[in-house]
Amino acid sequence: MAVAHGVKKPTNKDTLNDILQADDRDELLSWLQRQPLLLSIDDYTIVHAGIPPNWTIATAQTMAAEVENVLKSDLAESYFNAMYGNQPDSWNNALAGTDRWRLITNYLTRMRYCTASGQLDLAAKTAPQHRPPELPAEYAAWFSHRSRQTKDNKIIFGHWAALEGKNIGANLFPLDTGCVWGGALRLMNLSSADYIDQTAL
């Protein structure tokens, strides 16, 4: 979407041309821009990266809706222009405008490691058992903080291929099994909570 809005150049890894050059590109991009950052289906919350430990599900829903409303408004281009960046890295209720939207976006779409209060480290990408030795001790996988507000909620997420889709605890359903790196494509049946790892694409 940022490429389509002219605020980011495509990289040689992008495979966007079929969409960007399609006769119905505006319809496709408009549809994409109206999609939610967070879904609640039955007992599940579905999010790309995760929910910071200092947020409840209700807070996450409110924050996601705030950015979704920006994407549907005349402020969308301002959002895309300011979307990229690692600061601010900590939540503050006084945050406003593009700084606030950027942090919400980073929580929901980029987060891996953070402190219990939600301060992000966006550089570390390895799985917790291979955490970088230089990462301060107070930083841990977002889902592993004992004080996490959502530990009793069922959360489905992707984003972190290094987890390899392994069991990481109750109520957590990691779907990223590294398909883009040659791993399986994981599907989940919400009725049974069963996984299907499709290896032959």
What is the chain's pLDDT, residue by residue, as a tens digit (201 residues)? 888 888 888 888 888 888 889 999 999 999 999 999 999 999 999 999 999 999 999 999 999 999 999 999 999 999 999 999 999 999 999 999 999 999 999 999 999 999 999 999 999 999 999 999 999 999 999 999 999 999 999 999 999 999 999 999 999 999 999 998 888 999 999 999 999 998 855
CATH number (domain holding residue 102): 3.60.21.10
Q: Which residues lie across from 174 on neighbouring strands?
A: 157
- On whether both 55 and 154 belong to a single domain, the answer is yes
- On whether both 66 and 106 belong to a single domain, the answer is yes
- On whether both 42 and 106 belong to a single domain, the answer is yes
- On whether both 4 and 44 belong to a single domain, the answer is no
- On whether both 126 and 156 belong to a single domain, the answer is yes
> The domain containing residue 191 runs over which residues?
36-198
- On whether both 5 and 58 belong to a single domain, the answer is no
- On whether both 64 and 146 belong to a single domain, the answer is yes
- On whether both 50 and 20 belong to a single domain, the answer is no
- On whether both 156 and 83 belong to a single domain, the answer is yes
- On whether both 41 and 26 belong to a single domain, the answer is no
Number of domains in the chain: 2
- On whether both 149 and 105 belong to a single domain, the answer is yes
